[in-house]
């Protein structure tokens, strides 16, 4: 590979929401448009990650294609020779490298992963899978197979990135230079800019981020919500009883979240600071979001599935070559190949 690799992926199951779009998808699309000549952009669908927690498997195939359509509707340049879009499970090296790295990973390391603890606490022992426990090792394989330097991660994935760096350094120390070590989290944030790790809050519980795994969906604006549904959610957003508009996440997260949203859609939040009523702010957010959804859903309806499949298959062919080259080097180092 002659170019440094930027790699990222979004789980295929569940519908993507406004927070995914503004905080992860849109910055990546902008990066692909502006940096594809300088970097290799790997955008993959982590379908193996998708069922580390319980899902409806009958919907997974459709969700995989639907999510790629969303990237295309957001402006991902499929015609770029430096942008690769692929399904994780179509590259067997992801699974094979994970099995190898498992034998060099400590139980204690995985037990310390806060995201595992958070997700497992909501499932119970009987429904907490080994796949969820092992998630960081598979993520490390996703990154290391392609010598990825930059991996945009939010705060909840920082531990996983640091584990990726640790396991790469451990293997390199034991067997020689097998892996390129991705940049540390601080450098990642500097590279991707201020929108890296952007966290849009839940409209009903602004103390937590907007999440596609939210059971009720009442505080989440999904990209397939109708404008009418989105407007109702925004107008019913949790605020407070202070009576004027101020920006302060410590004491007023609901209003602050709405101010961030309106700001992201091009209206300066300062226009609303100090206003004695919350209605105009909610209306401005609702109008902006509804206009966005109408335009985005129109683009989504115009995406070409055949073109997407063609891009996936071409990317997967190239990614198998790149991943297998790294995997063979590791297999030889650990004694699995002559």
- Within 10 A of 18 (CB to CB), how many other CB atoms are there? 22
94, 145 in Cβ contact below 8 A?
Answer: yes
Q: Which of 119, 233, 282, 311 is catalytic?
A: 119
Annotated active-site residue 209? The verdict is yes
The distance of Cα 158 from the centroid of its chain, to the nearest Å, equals 12
Q: Take residue 191 and report the two structure tokens written for it.
A: 């590279």
Which of 33, 35, 183, 212 is catalytic? The answer is 212
Burial per residue of 130-151, b for 16 or more beta-carbon CB atoms within 10 angstroms, e otherwise? eebbbbbbbbbbbbbbbbbbbb
DSSP code per residue over 237-289: ----SS-S---BTTTBHHHHHHHHHHHHTT--GGGTTT-S-SHHHHHHHHHHH
Q: Tell me if residue 119 is catalytic.
A: yes
CA distance 41 to 311: 14
Helix, strand, coil proportions of the chain in percent (round to 5)? Answer: 55, 5, 35
In sequence order, the 6+-apart residues with CB closer than 8 A to the CB of 314 are none
Q: Is 183 a catalytic residue?
A: no
Sign of CA dihedral 19, 129, 112, 8: negative
Residue for token digits 């990209």? 223
Among 69, 209, 233, 311, which one carries the catalytic annotation? 209
- Show which residues are catalytic: 119, 209, 212
């Amino acid at each position: 590979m002659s170019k440094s690799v930027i790699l990222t992926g979004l789980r295929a199951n569940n519908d993507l929401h406004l927070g995914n779009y503004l905080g992860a998808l849109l910055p990546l699309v902008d990066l692909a448009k502006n940096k594809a000549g300088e970097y290799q952009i790997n955008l993959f669908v982590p379908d193996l990650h998708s069922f580390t927690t319980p899902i409806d498997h009958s919907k997974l195939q459709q969700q995989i294609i639907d999510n790629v359509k969303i990237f295309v509707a957001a402006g991902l340049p499929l015609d770029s020779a430096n942008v690769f879009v692929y399904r994780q499970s179509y590259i067997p090296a992801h699974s094979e490298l994970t099995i190898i790295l498992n034998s060099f990973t400590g139980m204690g390391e995985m037990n310390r992963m806060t995201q595992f603890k958070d997700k497992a606490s909501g499932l119970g022992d009987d429904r907490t899978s080994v796949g969820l426990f092992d998630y960081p090792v598979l993520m490390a394989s996703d990154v290391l197979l392609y010598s990825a330097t930059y991996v945009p991660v939010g705060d909840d994935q920082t531990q996983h990135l640091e584990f990726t760096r640790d396991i790469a350094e451990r293997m390199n120390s034991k067997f020689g230079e097998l892996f390129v070590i991705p940049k540390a989290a601080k450098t990642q944030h500097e590279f991707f800019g201020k929108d890296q790790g952007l966290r849009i809050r839940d409209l009903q519980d602004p103390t937590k981020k907007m999440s596609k795994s939210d059971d009720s969906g009442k505080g989440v604006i999904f990209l397939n919500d109708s404008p009418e549904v989105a407007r109702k959610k925004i107008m019913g957003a949790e605020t407070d009883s202070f009576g004027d508009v101020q920006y302060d996440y410590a004491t007023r997260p609901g209003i602050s979240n709405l101010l961030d949203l309106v700001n992201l859609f091009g209206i300066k939040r300062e226009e609303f600071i100090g206003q004695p009523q919350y209605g105009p702010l909610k209306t401005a957010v609702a109008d902006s979001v509804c206009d966005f959804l109408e335009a985005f859903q129109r683009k989504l309806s115009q995406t070409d599935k055949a073109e997407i499949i063609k891009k996936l298959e071409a990317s997967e062919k190239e990614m198998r070559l790149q991943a297998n080259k790294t995997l063979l080097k590791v297999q030889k180092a650990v004694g699995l190949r002559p």
